[in-house]
Amino acid sequence: MIQKETLRQVIAQQKNTITIEKTVTRTILADILNSFKDNRIIILTGVRRSGKSTLLKQVMQKKDDYCYVNFEDERFIDFRAQDFELLNEVLMEAYGIPKIYFFDEIQNIEKFETFVRRLQDNGKKIIITGSNASLLSKELGTRLTGRYKAFEVYPFSFSEYLDSKEIKIEKNTAYVLEKKIRIIKNFEYFVNEGGMPEYLKNKDDDYIRTIYENILYRDIIARYAIKKQKILKELVNLLATNLSSQFTYNSLKKSLGLSNAITVKEYISYLQNSYLFFELLRFDFSAKRQLNTARKIYIVDSAFHKITGLNFSENKGRILENIVFIELKRAKKETYYFVGKNECDFIVKDGTKIRESIQVCHLLDEKNKEREVNGLLEAMDKFKLNKGLLLTYEQADEINIKNKKITIMPVWKWIINQKT
């Protein structure tokens, strides 16, 4: 049990941290503010240090009559579910009678959902953050079904990266030579550095390593009581060095010297729940076959390449494909990869139909042009699409073939077009 005086000290100190310096306005902010129109709980989930807490404070700056608690403070180590009422008293002392409750990393407290539900029943608006998808969905899914709206928070997109450098994106930006050159140069930095907000300020590789270790040890090893820690680390290195490549649980099982694939499947689910890695399924009209085919793997941000051993110069195409995948995730698009005689990196499903086909390569040349174009054309034929997209590092062109149009476009231009 925690002492009331300790709570008073914590809440008073945290209240003084709410005012923040000028920060990048996240693209997702408008959607979050729009969700205040009803009384559903708002949940912000995402990888550690992706900007959830700052985003929470950006929301606060637009609101009144709120209170704030960050449960990652080590002084909450003795806090239990029965202490929530005491906490509520302290919050009223510090803030008056709040209408909105902002809870940062509340999943650290067992049975938090009971208190949250009671607040909601009393007409309060609640917005919470968490770094673990499984825990939030499990707890809230059982007790708060239909009572919440979840938002996934990713590291900066390239558009947000440009905002952080105070480079304005306008409709004609891609066509003004001086602006175009500046954007291309910054895209090179983005590909290498990624979009972790704090890392972009300090460029300290040890900072990224600390985040990585916190994910591994706190979000996975401690939470799931992992005994085979060496196997988990070897799996992470395997996945990171094989980004965008097809794999099966059995193939990874053999590489890791395990006796069964269940351990591999479980560990990858933990990595996904912590938002470090994401699986991509192969498209199949049969859901059963789809689950049994090889998958692809992607990492949440380029910054983690620095500590997982992925060499940039040898893997430019994979890293570029990884960036495109995360953009599709950010846009909440239902995405798969397609394999026929050839392979297409991404197809996008909307409702019951495939609406987009996207191929990604760093440099389109005579060696790979036939393979890349054929993979895209096969997907376009399969799903009756007249247009396809081939994304590259910097090339731009158009191919008309078999009454179909393939637009070749730089990834950076494709990303900023989403914003303008």
Instruction: Tell me the per-residue pLDDT of 292-309, one tens digit each, with 9 for 90 and over.
Output: 899 999 999 999 987 776
Higher pLDDT, residue 23 or 160: 160
Provide the pLDDT confidence category of residue 288 given band limits of 50, 70 and 90: confident
Q: What percent of the chain stands above pLDDT 90?
A: 80
pLDDT given at position 137? 62
The per-residue b/e assignment along 234-249, b for 16 or more CB within 10 angstroms, e otherwise, is ebbebbbebbbebbeb
Question: Sheet harboring 295-299: ordered strands across?
Answer: 246-247, 295-299, 277-281
Residue 229 near residue 190 (C-beta atoms within 8 A):
no
Instruction: With cut-offs at 50, 70 and 90, classify the pLDDT of residue 101.
Output: very high
State the pLDDT at residue 73.
94
> pLDDT (tens digit, 9 = 90+) per residue, 198-210?
999 999 999 999 9
pLDDT at 418 over 90: no
Distance CA 369, CA 231 (A): 39
The percent of residues above 70 in pLDDT, for the chain, comes to: 94
Spatial distance between the Cα atoms of 278 and 271, rounded to a whole number of angstroms: 8
With cut-offs at 50, 70 and 90, classify the pLDDT of residue 381.
Answer: very high
CA-CA distances (angstroms) from residue 314 to 65, 193, 217, 326?
53, 16, 30, 20
The pLDDT value recorded for residue 420 is 63
Distance CA 183, CA 185 (A): 5
What's the Cα-to-Cα distance from 196 to each of 46, 121, 155, 388, rounded to whole Å?
12, 36, 5, 31
Return the structure tokens found at 315.
């893997």
* DSSP H or E segment with residue 192: helix 177-193
pLDDT at 310: 58
Question: Sign (positive/negative) of CA torsion 323, 324, 328, 331?
Answer: positive
Can you read off the two tokens belonging to residue 382? 């399969």
- 8 Å CB contact between 419 and 159: yes
Q: Is the pLDDT of residue 165 over 70?
A: yes
Task: Please give the mean pLDDT across all residues of the chain.
Answer: 92
Contact indicator for 91, 84 with CB cutoff of 8 Å? no
Give the pLDDT of residue 313.
53
pLDDT at position 354, please? 98
Is the Cα torsion angle 399, 400, 406, 411 positive or negative in sign? positive
Looking at residue 132, its pLDDT comes to: 82
CATH architecture of 4-152: 3-Layer(aba) Sandwich (3.40)
Which residue would you say has higher pLDDT here, 351 or 418? 351
Q: Residue range 144-155: average pLDDT?
A: 89
| Residue 329, number of CB atoms within 10 A of its CB | 17
Q: Tell me, what's the pLDDT at 121?
A: 94
Tell me the one-letter amino acid at 287: A
- Local confidence band at 17 (pLDDT 50, 70, 90 cut-offs): confident
Q: Is the pTM of this model over 0.85?
A: yes
* pLDDT bucket at 134, cuts 50 / 70 / 90: low
Where do the DSSP E strands lie in 208-320? 246-247, 277-281, 295-299
**In one letter, which amino acid is 162?**
L
Q: Which of 416, 418, 361, 375 is nearest to 184 (CA)?
A: 416
